[in-house]
Every structure is written in structure tokens, then in C-alpha cells.
């Protein structure tokens, strides 16, 4: 319970004490005192006035210091923790007007949630409106639909159509954003298209496919986009744009962060130089280089100067992997870093290892997560030279066993830069699939991706609400869970039935 709730709870206890005191006094007072008629009337009037006064003052105090208790197991009457953090962190006034339909259970819940949030912080001024009863108010705000939140701050206005308090909290962050923060996605190398919003589509020549080493040679990735990532960023209030670095003399200075997701063709030397110049000027970048991507020599040299070497291999993890594919590496535990705070399990369908060498002075390298101790690497040819071949069940000759760094964050002053140069930030990871449409909504993949972007644009210390991505209801199990269910359902239950029958037969024979 926060300090704010503790204070309100004390007021609630004071209200209980006042009501109990009023009840005890009322029980002890004589109903018909032995007084003259006029004095008896005055006595009764005084008792009534005193009772009404104490009750009114107690209830006013209770209303002004309302305490919220949710005794349901699912906490259905409590806003999400992320929404509460956003509201608790308000430092300027925000006006929230929510238009709801009383017959809609989701709308009524959203009304209750915004009212609870409004009581958490006086900076959030909440007003709930039934547009059927107050059509003039709806017309004034230009609202023609139910379940709409209008947020106002410093002359700015944002409208959110949702019954989810997280989306409303995201709207609060958007209306408070003083400047436009632009995230630039690189195009021109067959990266994941950010215009593909929902679907995971493939054209393939084999009966099946995977996203590991061998799947990269069969799956045409053009329809395997990252539109969901774009939509989440826009919900957070970021401006998203596309840039083709091959056609630009330099990366625009208006890009707060540059993101390159799973490029398939090698950069031109000029593009590598433009990226290095951008970072040297205090830029920020997320480079997700998937299996088999050939890093241009100048860029490889630049990364090595920072202490980062992206290996030409795939990580195989027999211990921590998702489903039954050891190349879909799962990460249940992270290294300590602002990006990885409060993250749950994430998984990476086919990821390459990253080696770290001593960085130059002024540059700090921080591994974000690693594979397990039983993992190893297997060499992977570039995509252009890829041939389909069967995977070996044993650890191949030349593999590098042990824990592998899967992502690294670098920050500091660019090597050999002039005095007073702004610091850069860089994240390099060996997989881009985890932010694609197919995998972003599951486990903590979206949380990890958004946390990376927020760290790059230096908003990692601000409270954040999660944008919930609608996905079909699925039951996703790890290999260990599947084995346990199989043993319980297919082995132990039939054996228990057989054993019970045998015991009954033995006792009745």
C-alpha cells in the first residue's frame, strides 16, 4: 500500500471511530429526559443537530479522503500498476473527461477506474459523463462515440478510444509530452516492414518451416513485418518515420533513435559511415542483426572499436528454450540494467552470439542477457550462401560451448571525439524476430523491445504503461511443461486407472 493509501485508510478508520462513538452515545442518551416540554424539545433538537453535524463532517472527510479496497482475487476493481505509476508521477495538472455508456460493463468499469486514479493524485482532475444525459458536453468536446477519454494539459488535447486504463495512461503521457520524439526505422535492406500491421504471412517451398538457422533459407520475410511494434510506439506518443540511409547524405538529426530490424542485405560503406557519424554526434541506435546477415567491414570495425563483435553463428540452448526447438532461446533471467528491470520470460527465434572485447576509455559495455550454461554455438553461413541441411543432434565440432551474450548495451563518449561531445547510446542484439508481429505480443518480448527504445531516447526513468496488443487466445507451453502434461495425462492417469482396477479386482476375487 502506498503512503497516499495509508493516509486515506487512517481517515477511514477515523470515520469508523466517529460512527461507533456516535452509536455508543446514541445508545446511552435518554430518549425522553425528565425536563419541561420546551427544554425537552431543545434537548431533542440539539441531539439531532449534533448527530447530523458529526455524521456530515465524518462523511465529508471520508469523501475527500476515499480509501479504495479491492478484495477480489483478480483485482478487477483496481487499476493496473503501470497506470497507477503514471498517475502518481504527475507533476502538472491533467484534465480527464471520460464519456461512457452505463449499459456497457466495460465502460462502467473504465469509469470506475479513472475515478479511482483521480483520487490518487489531485493533479489528475477526472470528470465522467454519460453523453446520453449530457449531450451538450459531448458536442462541446467533439465526442460522437462511447468509451472515449479526452485528456487536456497546457492547451494540448488527446483523445483515447478505449476502456483500458493502460491506454488512458498512455494518453496521459502523450498529452504531457512537450516535444516530438521521432523514432526512425531504417529501410532499404529488406528489413521488417513497419507498415505490415497484423499478419504473419509466408511463402515457402517446403512442408514446414521454423525461424531458426534453416528456416531463414526457406521463409520469404517480406510479409513478416513489425507493424505491431510501430503501433505500440505510436500509442506511447512517439513519432515513427522511415528512412532509407542509402539515399541520404546523413542520418537526420531529428531522429532521437535509429532502429534497424533484421536487415538482409549488407550496408553500403557510406551507410556505415553515416551511422558512425550519427552515433559520434550523440545519437542512439538499436541494431537487431539476425542470423546470416553480413556486417559491412567498416561497420564491423566500428563496432569492434566499441568492444562489440557480432558472431556469424547461431546459439543452441538445450536447457532454456521455448517449445521444443533448442534454437528458440528463452531468457528467464537478465543481467542488471535499466532496460531489464521487472522483465519476465522472453524468447528469441534464432539468435546469434555477441562477443565482447575491452572497450575504449569512456565507453561502457553492459550485457543485457545471456543463454544458459548448457548452450553452445554453431557456425552459420550468410543468407546468400545458405544451403538446406539437416541439423545434428550432437554438439558439432568447432562449436563454442558455454553461456553466450545475446544482447549488449553501450554508452558513453564516442572514441576520439572532441571534448564536450554528447554521449551516445547503442544496443546490439543478434535477433530481430522477437519484435516481429508474430512474437512481439507474447511473454515479455514487447516489454523488452519498448524498454530498449525508452532507454535509447533516455526516458527509462519515467513511469511507463504497457500497450496491450490484441492477440488470439493461445496456450503456449515450454518443452518442460509439455513433457509434464504428457506424463500426467498419458502415463500417470492411465496407470492410476489400471492400478485402481487391479486393486478392486484383487479385493473382490
SS3 of 299, please? helix
Q: Quick: pLDDT tens for 261-298.
A: 999 999 999 999 999 999 999 999 999 998 888 999 99
> Of 66-70, 131-135, 406-410, 458-462, which range is least confident?
66-70
Q: How would residue 396 be classed by pLDDT, with cut points 50, 70 and 90? A: very low
3-state secondary structure 236-286: CCCEEEEEEHHHCCCCCCCEEEEEEECCCCCCCHHHHHHHHHHHHCCCEEE
Q: How would residue 464 be classed by pLDDT, with cut points 50, 70 and 90? A: low
Query: How many other C-beta atoms lie within 10 A of the C-beta of residue 241?
Result: 14
pLDDT of 235 reads 80
Beta strand 239-244 pairing with 255-261? unpaired
- Would you give the end-to-end CA distance of the chain in angstroms? 63
| C-alpha distance from residue 188 to each of 92, 182, 299, 345 (Å) | 42, 19, 17, 32
pLDDT of 373 reads 92
Average pLDDT of the residues of the chain? 82
Measure the CA angle with vertex 466, ends 462 and 467; round to 5°.
130
| Burial (CB count <10 Å: 0-12, 13-18, 19+), residue 3 | exposed
Q: Quick: pLDDT tens for 438-451.
A: 888 888 899 999 99
For residues 474 and 103, which has the higher predicted lDDT (pLDDT)? 103
Cα 230 to chain center, whole Å? 13
CA torsion sign for 174, 180, 183, 188 is: positive
Beta strand 284-288 pairing with 346-349? unpaired
Question: Taking 90 as the threshold, does the pLDDT of residue 317 lie above it?
Answer: yes
pLDDT of 381 reads 74
Could you tell me which residues are beta bridge partners of residue 361?
A: none
Q: What is the pTM of this model?
A: 0.69
> Of 27-36, 254-263, 468-477, which range is least confident?
468-477
Q: How would residue 29 be classed by pLDDT, with cut points 50, 70 and 90? A: confident
Q: How would residue 363 be classed by pLDDT, with cut points 50, 70 and 90? A: very high
CATH number of 182-456: 3.40.50
- The whole-number average pLDDT for the span 115-121 is 88
pLDDT of 81 reads 83
For residues 408 and 473, which has the higher predicted lDDT (pLDDT)? 408
Rounded distance, CA 152 to CA 125, Å? 10
> Of 314-328, 372-386, 414-428, which range is least confident?
372-386
What counts of helices (H) and strands (E) characterise the chain? 12, 17
Question: Taking 60 as the threshold, does the pLDDT of residue 30 lie above it?
Answer: yes
> Which DSSP state fits 389?
-
Q: How would residue 65 be classed by pLDDT, with cut points 50, 70 and 90? A: low
Query: How many other C-beta atoms lie within 10 A of the C-beta of residue 375?
Result: 24
pLDDT of 201 reads 43
Domain ranges of the chain: 3-64, 81-176, 182-456, 480-509
Tell me the fold of 81-176.
Answer: Glutaredoxin (3.40.30)
- The whole-number average pLDDT for the span 463-482 is 61
- The whole-number average pLDDT for the span 482-502 is 88
Select from 396, 397, 454, 403 the least CA-distant residue to 425: 454
Amino acid at each position: 500500500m502506498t503512503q497516499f493509501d495509508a493516509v486515506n485508510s487512517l481517515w477511514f478508520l477515523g470515520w469508523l471511530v466517529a460512527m461507533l462513538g456516535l452509536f455508543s452515545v446514541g445508545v446511552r442518551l435518554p430518549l425522553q429526559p425528565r425536563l419541561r416540554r420546551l427544554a425537552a424539545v431543545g434537548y431533542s433538537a440539539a441531539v439531532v443537530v449534533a448527530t447530523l453535524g458529526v455524521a456530515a463532517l465524518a462523511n465529508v472527510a471520508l469523501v475527500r479522503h476515499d480509501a479504495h479496497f479491492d478484495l477480489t482475487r483478480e483485482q478487477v476493481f483496481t487499476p493496473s500498476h503501470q497506470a497507477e505509476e503514471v498517475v502518481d508521477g504527475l507533476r502538472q495538472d491533467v484534465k480527464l473527461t471520460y464519456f461512457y455508456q452505463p449499459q456497457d460493463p466495460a465502460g462502467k468499469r473504465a469509469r470506475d477506474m479513472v475515478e479511482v486514479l483521480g483520487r490518487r493524485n489531485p493533479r489528475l482532475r477526472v470528470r465522467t459523463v454519460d453523453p446520453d444525459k449530457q449531450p451538450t458536453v459531448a458536442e462541446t468536446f467533439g465526442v460522437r462515440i462511447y468509451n472515449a477519454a479526452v485528456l487536456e494539459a497546457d492547451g494540448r488535447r488527446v483523445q483515447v478510444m478505449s476502456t483500458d486504463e493502460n491506454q488512458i495512461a498512455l494518453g496521459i503521457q502523450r498529452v504531457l509530452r512537450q516535444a516530438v520524439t521521432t523514432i526512425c526505422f531504417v529501410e532499404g535492406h529488406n528489413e521488417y516492414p513497419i507498415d505490415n500491421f497484423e499478419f504473419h504471412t509466408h511463402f515457402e517451398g517446403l512442408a514446414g518451416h521454423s525461424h531458426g538457422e534453416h528456416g531463414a533459407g526457406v521463409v520469404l520475410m517480406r510479409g513478416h513485418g513489425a507493424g505491431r511494434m510501430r503501433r505500440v510506439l505510436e500509442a506511447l506518443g512517439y513519432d515513427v518515420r522511415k528512412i532509407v540511409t542509402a539515399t541520404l547524405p546523413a542520418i537526420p538529426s531529428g531522429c532521437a533513435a535509429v532502429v534497424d530490424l533484421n536487415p538482409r542485405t549488407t550496408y553500403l560503406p557510406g551507410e556505415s559511415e553515416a551511422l558512425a557519424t550519427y552515433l559520434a554526434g550523440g545519437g542512439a541506435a538499436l541494431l537487431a542483426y539476425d542470423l546470416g546477415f553480413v556486417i559491412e567491414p567498416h561497420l564491423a570495425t566500428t563496432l569492434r572499436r566499441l568492444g562489440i563483435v557480432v558472431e556469424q553463428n547461431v546459439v543452441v540452448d538445450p536447457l532454456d528454450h521455448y517449445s521444443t526447438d533448442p534454437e528458440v532461446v528463452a531468457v528467464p533471467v537478465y543481467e542488471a540494467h535499466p532496460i531489464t528491470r521487472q522483465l519476465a520470460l522472453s524468447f528469441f527465434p534464432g539468435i546469434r552470439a555477441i562477443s565482447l572485447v575491452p572497450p575504449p576509455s569512456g565507453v561502457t559495455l553492459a550485457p543485457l542477457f545471456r543463454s544458459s550454461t548448457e548452450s553452445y554455438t554453431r557456425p552459420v553461413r550468410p543468407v546468400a550462401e545458405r544451403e538446406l541441411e539437416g541439423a545434428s543432434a550432437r554438439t558439432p565440432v568447432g562449436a563454442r560451448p558455454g553461456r553466450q551474450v545475446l544482447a549488449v548495451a553501450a554508452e558513453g563518449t564516442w572514441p576520439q571525439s572532441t571534448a564536450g561531445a554528447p554521449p551516445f547510446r547503442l544496443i546490439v542484439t543478434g535477433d530481430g524476430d522477437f519484435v516481429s508481429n508474430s512474437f512481439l505480443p507474447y511473454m515479455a518480448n514487447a516489454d523488452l523491445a519498448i524498454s530498449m527504445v525508452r532507454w535509447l531516447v533516455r526516458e527509462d526513468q519515467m513511469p511507463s504503461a504497457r500497450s496491450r496488443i490484441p492477440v488470439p487466445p493461445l496456450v503456449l507451453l515450454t518443452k518442460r511443461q509439455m513433457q509434464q502434461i504428457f506424463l500426467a495425462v498419458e502415463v500417470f492417469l492411465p496407470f492410476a486407472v489400471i492400478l485402481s482396477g487391479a486393486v478392486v479386482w484383487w479385493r473382490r476375487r
